[in-house]
Amino acid sequence: MTDAIIQTIDTPDGPFTILSDADARVLASGWTDDVDRMVGRVRATERPTTVTRGETDAAATVLAYYAGDLDAIDEVPVAQFGTPMQLAGWQALRRITPGRPLTYAEFAVELGSPNAVRAVASICARNAPALFVPCHRVLRTGGALGGFAWGLDVKRSLLDREAGVPALLA
């Protein structure tokens, strides 16, 4: 991979950065303005050699999501690189309905591997295009948040937004 575009926008959960390839596919995204951290989320062999600040096609969908169109993120193209199980897991994450999170155990069953709870947790942890591939919709058994690369406050905010809980204005 050679060229990528990076853009940071403001959201109610803080700065959100999107790294897209030349085909407008999101390679990585998350709640940070740290370019190196964002590029580092992409598998080393697939990282872009040139990253230029610019406008990404996906930015408008993030703003639409935060404005209440929770399905806006569903059609944004992403490019992910991993094992067949990781790729299947990332595709399955995109099918989780907003406001109806799954537990890691339920997600493992969804993938056809009910005993692979640790593996599905790893799939979530290695998900580079956060929000567009909504790994925040997977919780620990009992409803505890579990982990999230961008912090539990962001995860809770996203889940509350998707459950219809009004966001508190700071």
The set of catalytic residues is 135
Question: Residues with Cβ < 8 Å from 158, sequence gap 6 or more?
Answer: 13, 131, 134, 136
Residue with tokens 């992910």: 80
Alpha carbon separation from 63 to 2, 96, 146 (Å, rounded):
28, 20, 26
The closest alpha carbon to 19, from 125, 123, 132, belongs to 132
- E strand or H helix that includes residue 18: strand 14-21
Q: Using CA atoms, how far apart are residues 160 and 162, in angstroms rounded to an integer?
A: 5
- E strand or H helix that includes residue 49: none
Q: Which residues pair with 3 in a beta bridge?
A: 50
89 and 111 Cβ atoms separated by less than 8 Å: yes
